[in-house]
Structure 1
Amino acid sequence: MFVLAAILLAGLIILVYDHVSFIFTPVRVLLQNVVLPVILATILFYLLRPVLRLLERARIPRIWGIVILYVGGLGLITLGILLIFPFLKEQFHNLIKDFPEYFRTLMINIDRYLSTSMFAGYLSGLDFSLANLTDSYLEDLSGFFQETAGGIASGITNFISTLTGIVLSIVTVPFILFYLLKDGEKLPRFTVGLLPPRMRGDAIEIITDADRQLSAYILGQVLVSLCIGIMVSIGFLIIGMKYALVLGALAAVTSVVPYLGPVIAITPALIIALVTSPFMILKLAVVWTAVQLIESKFISPQIMGKTMHIHPITIIFVLLTSGSLFGLPGVILGIPGYALLKVVMTHLFKLFKKRYDEHEDDPDLRYSGSIQWPDETGKE
């Protein structure tokens, strides 16, 4: 009865709030403008906090440590723009320009294979040609872009407005990051101090566990992605793959998304290898298999450890659901968001079991009691 009343009350609250949703418009606008810079600043905070702690151990004041991090970060960004970005930009531009031709050549090769295979008679009866289909598709795509050019031009104002909001959000990231690095350690203590004394112990445990999970995931995932990008770039350079650095950078970026990232990263490399030569496909398979084995057996266990106990099936469902609800940001942030939710729900269930055991007189019916499963013969 209590659970039923709680469900009905929650439904009634949702119904009422749905009819007065206009009240929350300012809150929604505030969240839309605040979420992006806060997320970016939080990610940078977890990446830079270990370095800041090392500087504090070296007896450098926190303010000066933050200044050192800012100056060092600005120097690395400038160095990357001057040395690495022009080369990557040229390779990326060439890849974008040549990729349609690679794709068209691949379709032509597949069409030639099908025309000489056991399915040739069936396909000729259907008047099916993969090469013609590809050409018509590319022409339709070109016509689509020409027809929609006017619509795109009419939406320039909205695009500029959105871009301005994104730029302003990114500009505010250094300021938010500064105060997170400066006072980030004080925020949990202040939050716990607002709670009743009876709840502070459990709140400290939840905040500490959530902080550990989030820090391990962000720092570990970035390091793993960098390692994958470096290994893929080196491997592609060794086998003579075109656009090796761009493909390595793509592998590093997409590796942030578990399971789906490697599939996205290998797709352009596989198409280039298929068009280049059959031997290149074999070399690509060797490099990619070696990278995945090294990452899964050595790098991830050492960096990520066993901090996030999430089943692979759960990760796939989380990615599908968060991607459908929130798009690309949901795919990227779905796993850490699920990890935080799991921490909170685990502790809440722990408190529920503790409260239940306190009011249960029969020891065999308590959560803390042992569970005896029957064996194959049906005996316990």
Structure 2
Amino acid sequence: MSRFEQIRGSLRRAYETGRASVRSARVKSHDSRQVPDGTLRYSAPSEPPTAAGGGEPPHEVHPSTSSRDDADVPHGLRIAAAWCWRLIVIGIVGWAMLKVIGTVRIVVIPLLIAMLLSALLAPAVGWLLRARFPRSLATAVVLIGGLAAVVGTLTLVVNEFIAGVPQLSEKSTAGIRQIQDWLKTGPLHLSDGQLNQYIDAGEQWIQTHTSSVTSGAFSTAATVFEVLTGTVLVLFATFFFLRDGQKIWRFLVGLLPLKARWRVDDAGRASWRTLVAYVRATVLVAFIDAVGIGLVLVVFDVPFAFPLAALVFLGAFIPIVGATLSGAVAVLVALVDSGWVTALIILGAVVAVQQVEGHILQPLIMGRAVAIHPLAVIVAIASGVVLAGITGALISVPLVAVVNTAVRRLARRRSPEPPPDAVVVGTEPPQLPI
């Protein structure tokens, strides 16, 4: 037999073996549908299976449900319940986070203040770095210069306040006498006995609440150590944020899963730019407010013009509320020193400055990068005051701005573009040129 005939016979046997296997598979499939008496079992696929005992067929279970009970609950109620338990979980987690932050607030609040200071001083450090200063030296120079400016300003404010207190005290006494005369000769026509009665009631209230005032003073003295500790922590944290901020951020991002790193890094950098823009704009707006109100105080020869301008500058860091309170102090000083005419003029100047700030400076300087609805600002300030007092009011608005930017970035469907120097590793091997 030739080799060709051998190959032909092998192919023939392989073909017959394949046909035999297919035939046996068909026979097994046919036999599996037969009952012992040889008849075929048949069930229409379109008919739903009936329950045992001839009852009604079971209701169809929706793919989004896991049991018959879930299918009986209306769809809208199931959606509302799903939202509710998820919101409850988020609320519990948020409450736990607030409790933890409240426990370690002596550390958290200085770190947040250091973040604000770092956002304010970062441009100056960048200028020195571009001038080929070493990073540590540039950070130290900027930090020491900022401390010197703050200490110098506080020294001027305290000196002017100490020099003007005696004169203001005399004018305050004269103003109180004028108020007493007005109460006697004005429309109220109060008698000396009634005035003495009200004064005695005030003194009695003070004596009754002396214990609470004293305890508050002792508690304030007890927090001196916390204030000093927080100040030292703010200085150290600001220095290291300015010097090693990039390294710290890269380390934190590196702890996340690989797929989430680029999105979190993009959101974090956008939030940092928002914080820097907010701090810059707030400082500029506060400076304009302080200069405007300070010039009015100088023109009308109101005492403590420089301290009041500094107070307006600091108050402008708390949007809406801070400017109102600092302006009220300036009006009160003008009322005590120069009378109600000057006080009304100062009040008009304060209102005009606030209107310019709210309708021109804020939209123009802040821009859309840090635009927050006024209702959100009020709610954030109120929540900050309840949770952390004055410090909470100071950091609440920038915190809301940063969180707003981060959430918007993370919620985007489009993935952020990879850095130009990133090495992208593909899942398919590269094609070799032919």
Query: Does the alignment reach a TM-score above 0.5?
Result: yes
1:33 matched to 2:106: yes
Q: Could you report, residue by residue, the CA deviation over 1:212-265 in whole angstroms, capped at 9, with x for unpaired residues? A: 222222232123213212221121111222332232222222222222223212
> Is contact 1:254-1:261 (8 Å) kept?
yes
Specify which of 209, 218, 228 is matched with residue 270 of structure 2. 209
1:328 counterpart (370, 390, 396): 390
Q: Given the superposition, is the C-alpha separation of residues 99 and 229 from structure 1 closer, same or farther in structure 2, using an over 3 Å criterion?
A: farther
The answer to whether residue 384 in structure 2 is matched with residue 311 in structure 1 is no
Moved more, 244-253 or 322-331: 322-331
SS across alignment from 1:185: helix
Aligned to 2:330: 269
Residues 116 and 275, structure 2, Cα contact 8 Å, conserved in 1 = no
CA distance in 1, matches of 2:169, 2:395: 28
Deviations 1:300-332 (A, max 9, x none): 455423322222233233333443444333322
Identify which of 249, 262, 279 aligns with 1:188.
249
Given the superposition, is the C-alpha separation of residues 241 and 286 from structure 1 closer, same or farther in structure 2, using an over 3 Å criterion?
same
> Residue 143 of structure 2: which of 49, 70, 88 is its match?
70
**Superposed counterparts of 1:6-17, under 5 Å:** 7-8=84-85, 11=88
After TM superposition, give the deviation of residue 334 of structure 1 in Å: 2.3
Please give the alpha-carbon distance, in whole angstroms, between the structure 1 residues aligned to 2:308 and 2:195. 24
Q: Aligned residue for 1:371?
A: none
Structure 2 CA distance for aligned equivalents of residues 82 and 15 of structure 1: 47
Counterparts of 1:17 and 1:45, CA distance in 2: 27
Shift in CA distance, 294/158, structure 1 to aligned 2, threshold 3 Å = closer
Asked if 1 retains the 8 angstrom alpha-carbon contact of 2:118 and 2:238, the reply is yes
* Counterpart position of 1:344: 406
Q: Tell me how far apart the structure 1 counterparts of residues 92 and 352 of structure 2 sit (CA, whole Å).
A: 54
Q: Which residue of 2 aligns with 1:222?
A: 283
Give how far 1:342 is off.
2.0
1:85-132 residue CA offsets vs partner (Å, 9 max, x unmatched): 3113434676578657646745864785544xxxxxxxx8xxxx5998
How many residues get paired?
Answer: 337
Alpha-carbon distance in 1 for matches of 2:267, 2:350 = 39
What CA distance in whole angstroms lies between the structure 2 residues aligned with 1:138 and 1:332? 37
Amino acid at match of 2:308: L
SS in 1 for 2:302: coil
Match for residue 119 of structure 2?
46
Decide which of 207, 213, 238 is 1:177's aligned counterpart: 238
Identical-pair percentage: 24
Change (3 A) 1:234 1:155: closer
Distance in structure 2 (CA, Å) of the matches to 1:268 and 1:200: 49
Q: Is the 8 A contact 1:108 1:131 kept in 2?
A: no
More displaced 10-residue stretch of structure 1: 244-253 or 283-292: 283-292
Residues 1:280 and 2:342 aligned together? yes
Question: Which secondary structure state, in structure 2, belongs to the residue aligned with residue 184 of structure 1?
Answer: helix
User: Is contact 2:160-2:304 (8 Å) kept?
Assistant: no
User: For residues 135 and 90 of structure 1, what CA distance do their matches in structure 2 show?
Assistant: 33
- SS of corresponding position for 2:285: helix
* Gap change, CA 1:263 and 1:10, over 3 Å in 2: closer
How many Å apart are 1:207 and its aligned residue? 0.8
Q: What is the TM-score normalised by the length of structure 1? A: 0.72
Q: Secondary structure at the match of 1:242?
A: coil
Distance of aligned partners of 1:319 and 1:37 in 2 relative to their CA distance in 1, 3 Å threshold: closer
SS of match in other structure, 1:350: coil
| Alignment of 1:85 onto 2:162 | no
1:163-201 residue CA offsets vs partner (Å, 9 max, x unmatched): 211211112222111111111122222222222232223
Task: Map residues 360-371 of structure 1 onto 2, 5 A cutoff.
Answer: none
State the SS of the aligned residue for 2:412: helix
Counterpart Cα distance in 1 of 2:212 and 2:352: 47
Q: CA deviation at 1:31?
A: 1.7
TM-score, length-normalised on structure 2? Answer: 0.64
Q: Which amino acid aligns with 2:135?
A: R
Q: How far 1:136 moved relative to its partner?
A: 5.4
- Assess if the C-alpha contact under 8 Å between 1:91 and 1:246 holds in 2: no
Q: Distance in 2 between matches of 1:258 and 1:296?
A: 10
* Structure 2 counterpart SS, 1:257: coil
Amino acid at match of 2:236: F
RMSD: 3.9
Q: What is the CA-CA distance between 1:268 and the residue it aligns to? A: 3.2
Bigger helix fraction: 1
